[in-house]
Amino acid sequence: MLKVQGIDVFYGEFQALDNVTLKLDKGQTVIVVGPNGAGKSTLLRTISGLQKPRRGSIEFEGQRIDRMEAHKVVESGVSSVPEGGRVFPNLSVQDNLKVGSYNKAAREKAEEWLPRIFELFPILATRKKQRAGSLSGGERQMLAIGRSLMSQPKLIMLDEPSLGLAPMVVNMVFEFILKMKQEGYTILLVEQNANKALKVADYAYLIESGKLVYEGRSEDFDKNPYIKTAYLGI
């Protein structure tokens, strides 16, 4: 479904990604792990169109998206949940969800989906009219994921969804990601918390300093001794 081929991404003179190749099949849950500053966020930003690669290509469902404007990428079915529970702070919870269905395809389904999102996240329902900026970290993360679902995505990309959240809330988030997987969504997950992430994933990539260092099925990840010590804390 998603094919990233040998992309180089630069911020000015600084190279953030070096010859990165990645692929996702429909229905798969793939994770990208790696230390801070490795380039994981840059990877997601580039796929969603906020950053353009200097070299290489990105294909989604057979279409080239690396030269597309960000909003067009969303229209093709790629939705991202940025890190840190980023929401529109001065919009209400309800408006945050509504704006998620801004693209034309999603707008028709908006009325049908809004109550479904509130069912999935009952906390949000009680805070419908509240200013999103006043929500707690965990609630904002839920809202961000809900907003992403409203855009009727084919591929959902999550950037460090557990960052800064209490352990109990982190569990909730990963339970939810598992649920999405069971619903049939294709998921690309970026995480520092490799332990939890590996449990929901089918396939994993390891990025260090902008380069792809290792890839494999999540069971195999567990067995690699280097990764075990470096990232799984074993």
Partner 1 sequence: MFEQIIMAFLNGILLGGVLALLAFGLNLIFGVVKIIHLAYGQFVMLGFYFIYFFHTSWHIPLIPAMAMGVVAMGLIGILTQLLIINPLLNAPRLNQLLALASLIIVMENLAQVIWGADYRGIPITMPIIQFGDIFIRSSFLAAFIGAIFTLGLLYLFLNRTYLGLGIRAVAQDLDMAKGVGINPKVIYYVTLAAGGALTGLVAAFFVPIYTVHPHFGASFTLMAFVIVVFGGMGNLLGGFISAFIIGIVTSVTAVLSSPEVADILAMAMFIGMMMIRPQGLLGTES
Q: Interface residues with partner 1 (CB under 8 A)?
A: 48-50, 69-71, 74-75, 79-80, 82, 86, 88-91, 95, 98-100, 102-103, 106-107, 147, 151
Distances (CA, A) of 29 to 104, 140, 153: 26, 23, 14
**Nearest-10 Cα torsion for 222, 223, 229, 234:** 70
For residues 1 and 194, give the distance between their C-alpha atoms in angstroms, rounded to a whole number: 24
Query: Closest CB to partner 1 among 88 and 176?
Result: 88
Query: Closest CB to partner 1 among 74 and 204?
Result: 74
Query: Closest CB to partner 1 among 128 and 217?
Result: 128
Q: Closest approach of Cβ 153 to partner 1, in Å?
A: 10
The DSSP-derived string for 34-103 is --TTSSHHHHHHHHTTSS--SEEEEEETTEE-TTS-HHHHHHHTEEEE-TTT---TTSBHHHHHHHHT-S
Q: Closest approach of Cβ 138 to partner 1, in Å?
A: 19
Q: Closest approach of Cβ 102 to partner 1, in Å?
A: 5
Q: Closest approach of Cβ 48 to partner 1, in Å?
A: 6
Q: Closest approach of Cβ 168 to partner 1, in Å?
A: 27
Single out the residue of 204, 201, 200 nearest to residue 221, CA to CA.
204
Query: Closest CB to partner 1 among 63 and 229?
Result: 63
Query: Closest CB to partner 1 among 147 and 181?
Result: 147
